Amino acid sequence: MDYSDLTSKLIDGNTRAAARLITTVENDIEAAEKIINSIYPYTGKAYIIGITGAPGTGKSTFISTLTKSYVDLGKKVGIICVDPTSPLTGGALLGDRIRMKQHFSLIHY
């Protein structure tokens, strides 16, 4: 499948396209490689920061604080949480909506 239309919309800031692409990346490793390679030239000076630790060690609190710091500096932040221990898929995307909810209103387009 050709994902160029969705990636073009993503690059233009379309959040629905982003959601569809995230779902595709999660479910299709071959498509994931194509999608990531096609958007990489548009990532500018993006950083990927990995946070890991045992349950209850404060990862979500740390991520929330880090997010606020970057947003306060006028930076854009995207958070993707993955549970690599999912018994169904071996890795599941998570949405920590309770803790991250406070940042939704901070997003500036």
Q: Domain tally for the chain? A: 2
Is pLDDT at 108 greater than 50 in this prediction?
A: no
What residue type is assigned to position 85 of the chain?
Answer: T
Per the structure, the complete domain to which residue 71 belongs is given by 47-109
pLDDT tier at 103 (50, 70, 90 boundaries)?
low
Indicate whether 32 and 15 sit together in one domain.
Answer: yes
* Mean pLDDT, the chain, whole residue set: 79
**Segment 60-65 mean pLDDT:** 85
Indicate whether 61 and 109 sit together in one domain.
Answer: yes
Indicate whether 70 and 34 sit together in one domain.
Answer: no
- Which of 49, 44, 37 lies closest to 7 in space, CA to CA? 37
Indicate whether 59 and 34 sit together in one domain.
Answer: no
Indicate whether 53 and 18 sit together in one domain.
Answer: no
At residue 49's C-alpha, the angle toward residues 46 and 53, to 5°, is: 170
For the ranges 9-23, 40-54, 61-75, the lowest mean pLDDT is seen at: 40-54
Is pLDDT at 109 greater than 60 in this prediction?
A: no
Indicate whether 76 and 39 sit together in one domain.
Answer: no
**Segment 76-101 mean pLDDT:** 63
For residue 81, the model assigns a pLDDT of 72
pTM for this prediction: 0.58
Q: What is the C-alpha separation between 36 and 52, in angstroms, rounded?
A: 22
